[in-house]
Amino acid sequence: MSGVRRDPLTGRRILIAPSRASRPHDVHDAMPRVDCPFCEGCEEATPPETDAVRPGGEPPDSPGWTVRVVPNKFPVIDPADGVHEVAVNTPRHVTDLVELRTDEMASALAMWARRLAVIAEDRRDLYPFCFLNQGAAAGASLQHTHAQIVGLPFAPPRLVAREKAFADGANPVVVDMVDVDHPRFVTAADGLVAWVPEVPPLTGTVRIAARERAPSWDAGSEFGAIAGILLEVLARIDHAFDAPAINLWLNQARPGSDGGYHWHLDVISRLGTLAGLELGTGVIAVAMSPEAAAERLRL
């Protein structure tokens, strides 16, 4: 019964994924390292890997990796229609992304980019998207830090709207770069800047981008630099909000469709809950002004 369906009233497409209900959950009851399927030494608990960083050249599906990618055992989309992968960010039993070392984060980001590029080359013309859920309130089912990379067989409406905004020349609206004395500025380093957008998608959003326009995050920016500012932003979020849950997603141009796009990474600390207004109308009520959020993040 899995597959893609289209709502005749709105035109919106949804994914029917009943296997998601069978996912194991260890967020409330901490899973011991020995039972964690994402820890080094537990490779047999996952599907065969599709990619990995193995400095020592060990064989696939064995210990010795630093980043490992496997098909999601409980995909949102049938493998016949698209792709759903899990990128395990570290072999260490780490629950929060902020706990990674800079070199670990840079290696993980490089792998995310590599898998997105593979999906972009898929003959089915899939739409690649990368996101991370941390904590139960953000949708995570397993604690061990991991990202997810999907290849959708249709263009997601919000991402299409972003592409159109850039193609129409609305770059300052979507990526409103700020300077150090701006009330929504958070931090900056190595040609990258982090700030709270004037119109955030959710309460507690921090946006990261390169000051110089680039369609994708692997064009013009080093992953070590992105890792550094991302870890600083995560540490600031932890200090300012003590957020138990975080969502993160990457916005970038599809390969071959630059269209004036400026990549940006959205990091959202889940400070509130989506309720009837948000879910029923799609209208988001932001509970903290962007200026107030930025001030707290700068402390």
DSSP 230-248: HHHHHHHHHHHH--S-EEE
Average pLDDT, the chain: 90
Here the tokens at position 13 are 């497409």
Residue 161 falls inside a structural domain: no
What pLDDT, on a 0 to 100 scale, did the predictor assign at position 31? 55
- Residues sharing a CB contact under 8 Å with residue 44, sequence separation 6 or more, in sequence order: 61
Boundary residue ending a domain (154, 169, 188): 154
Q: Given this model, what pLDDT does residue 58 score? A: 97
Strand 185-189 with 246-251, pairing: unpaired
What pLDDT band is residue 282 in, cutting at 50, 70 and 90?
Answer: confident
pLDDT at 193: 95
Would you say residue 139 lies in a domain? yes
* Statement: residue 159 has pLDDT above 60: yes
Is 12 domain-assigned?
A: no
- For the stretch 186-227, pLDDT in tens is 999 999 999 999 989 999 999 999 998 889 998 878 999 999
Residue with tokens 């004037």: 198
* Same domain for 187 and 104: no
pLDDT, tens only, 219-247? 878 999 999 999 999 999 999 998 779 99
pLDDT at 265: 96
Confidence of residue 2 (pLDDT cuts 50, 70, 90): low
What confidence tier does 29 reach under pLDDT thresholds 50, 70, 90? low
Both 76 and 149 in a single domain?
yes
Instruction: Classify residue 169: in a domain, yes or no.
Output: no
pLDDT of 270 > 70? The answer is: yes
* Pairwise CA distance, residues 11 & 98, whole Å: 38
Residue 30 has pLDDT above 60, yes or no: no
CATH of the domain at 50: 3.30.428.10
Domain match, 187 and 103 both: no
Position with higher pLDDT, 175 vs 138: 138
182 and 140 in a common domain: no
Q: With CA atoms as reference, report the closest residue to 269 among 137, 106, 169, 127.
A: 137
**Structural domain that includes position 238:** 177-299
Measured CA to CA, the distance from residue 89 to residue 68 in angstroms comes to 7
Question: Residue 2 falls within a domain, yes or no?
Answer: no
Confirm whether 159 is domain-assigned: no
* Distance between CA atoms of residues 141 and 160, nearest Å: 28
Distance of alpha carbon 229 from alpha carbon 220, whole angstroms: 15
Q: How many Å apart are CA 169 and CA 184, to the nearest integer?
A: 23
One domain, residues 29 and 149: yes
Report which of 60, 89, 209, 235 is spatially closest to residue 149, judged by C-alpha positions: 89
Closest CA to 130 of 109, 101, 144, 145: 109
Residues 184 and 295 in one domain: yes
> Which of the four pLDDT bands, split at 50, 70 and 90, describes residue 26?
low
130 plus 246 within the same structural domain: no
| Of 154, 169, 187, the domain-final residue | 154
Q: What is the pLDDT of residue 21?
A: 67
- Which is it for strands 83-88 and 146-152: parallel, antiparallel or unpaired? antiparallel
User: What local confidence, expressed as pLDDT, does residue 272 receive?
Assistant: 83
Q: What is the mean pLDDT of residues 139-166?
A: 91
For residue 290, give the 3-state DSSP assignment: helix
3 state SS of 260: coil
If asked whether residues 182 and 239 sit together in one domain, one would say: yes
Q: What is the DSSP letter of 87?
A: E
135 Ramachandran zone, left/alpha/beta (phi>0; psi -120 to 50): left
Please give the pLDDT value at position 257. 74
41 shares a domain with 148? yes
Q: What is the pLDDT of residue 84?
A: 97
247 within domain boundaries: yes
* Residue 177: per-residue pLDDT: 72
Give me the percent of the chain exceeding a pLDDT of 70.
Answer: 92
- The model's pTM is 0.92
Q: How many angstroms from the chain centroid is the CA of residue 144?
A: 15
Is pLDDT of 27 > 70? no
Query: Using CA atoms, how far apart are residues 61 and 48, in angstroms rounded to an integer?
Result: 6
Domain count, the chain: 2
Same domain, 144 and 237: no
Answer whether residue 148 is part of any domain: yes
Same domain, 198 and 296: yes
On the question of pLDDT at 149 being above 70, the answer is yes
Same domain? 144 vs 185: no
